[in-house]
Amino acid sequence: MARKNRIHIPGLSLHVIHRGVNHTAIFGDDADRELFLAHLEAAMARFAVAIHVFVLMSTHYHLIVTPESASALPNAMRQLGMRYVRYYNRKYDRIGTLWTGRYTGLFIWDELYWLTCVRYIEMNPVRAQMVTRPEDYRWSSYHAHALGERVPWLTEHTVYTGLGSTDDERRTAYRALCGQPLTEAERVRQRLGTQSPEPLRPYSVLTATPP
């Protein structure tokens, strides 16, 4: 059966999820995670995709990104996947794909849903009981949003910058937001990507700071 064509809307953010085949681990150690992030940065920069949020889990990863063109994200994800799998297979003496099919890309249609997405992503290690506090997990963008850690290749999303008029205000508001657990309904909608786009309108998030 032929694959369905993806729909990509330039300037509209997406929640991206990519999982290891058969629930296999996609990272063997911290060196793999560092290398993956380097490939992620390079691929997204090459094809003009802004990276706002990330978390690396054991068997999958999450991103929030904004592509500048319809072809940008597919091209970036193709480069990222191919280069990382080539490295991983060589290091661990394996062959074949590392991924369960194509990545999932869920459109983020409004500001409230963006805040749900970022909480869902950055609190993932806590829900998985990998750590007790999000700041204890190294491999996510929580440190940038909540603690002010500088990550040069992350682009601040306009929804995040709208949380306050200063860096301290934004970080305080964000920490308070993450202190509120997602409801079960929010978690289900997030996993299924069932947020309805109507009657909401897409918004542009290509700039690093609000206009």
Contact predicate 82/5, CB 8 Å: no
Domain annotation covers residue 103: yes
Sheet holding 104-107, edge to edge: 49-56, 60-67, 14-19, 104-107
Give the predicted TM-score (pTM) of the model: 0.86
Domain annotation covers residue 160: yes
- Number of domains forming the structure of the chain: 1
Confidence at residue 186, expressed as pLDDT on a 0 to 100 scale: 58
Domain annotation covers residue 7: no
Q: State yes or no: pLDDT of 28 exceeds 90.
A: yes
Q: How confident is the model at residue 194 (pLDDT cuts 50, 70, 90)?
A: very low
Q: State yes or no: pLDDT of 46 exceeds 60.
A: yes
The CATH number for 106's domain is 3.30.70.1290
Domain annotation covers residue 197: no
pLDDT per position as a tens digit, 61-116: 999 999 999 999 999 999 999 999 999 999 999 999 999 989 999 999 889 889 98
Domain annotation covers residue 209: no
Q: State yes or no: pLDDT of 149 exceeds 60.
A: yes
149: containing domain: 14-192
The arithmetic mean of pLDDT across residues 7-27, rounded, is: 90
Neighbours of 109 (CB within 10 A): 19
